[in-house]
Structure 1
Amino acid sequence: MAKTIMVVDDSASIRMVVGIALRGAGYDVIEAQDGKDALAKLTGQKIHLIISDVNMPVMDGISFVKAIKQHASYRFTPIIMLTTESDEAKKREGQLAGAKAWVLKPFKPEQMLGAVQKLCLP
């Protein structure tokens, strides 16, 4: 059975590129355009990994990570931040919130897939 990964980014083109890479590697993908949209789509189903942007309207990535860690079903779901944000303070904030990895855009699909394979829940 395919593992399910949620991709949260306000950029439709980034969601598409990430989605194509993940689907090509055999994953199921759920897309959301911001943190609030993502939370609405998390209805208790098994999510093996979340990839989230940091800077988004409505609910940013750090707030989303904090919210997800309060959710019993997703408390241990690994989260990769995929972002243009290279600021160390922002990175630390993401790690403290619960993000497991920080991948900078523009990214190489194989680099992202390597992080996905390492962190994806069994």
Structure 2
Amino acid sequence: MTHRRRRAARGTSGRNFPWGDQKTAAKCNVREAGVEGTASVSRYHSGVSPYGVYDMVGNVWEWLSTQTTPGRYELRGSAFTSPLFRGAPAVPNDANDANDTMHDDDTGFRCVATPEQMTPRRR
């Protein structure tokens, strides 16, 4: 897990979940929440990380650029199909990493850029 993703997901204190150390399915879109599909990013305000990042747990697995083996990539964060215990940001999805050709309804990715990489928007 990259240093930036770890900080975005767990804060500087290394908490177990973005909202703290308490397992709480009501703060994310996991199996126990009963949504049975993806939800809008802004649905779980109480599950946002200390850096304002939504859905670091649940909704869809995040496909990372970290290769586990050639052609396979690490997944983190869990999905709406996953039980809450699989969603702790520090726990990798060892059972299911992503391959180059995977098409799955519970896996996605997050576009990330540093402030220096952002182009100011013209108004």
Q: TM-score under structure 2 normalisation?
A: 0.27
Higher radius of gyration, 1 or 2: 2
Q: Which has the higher helix share?
A: 1
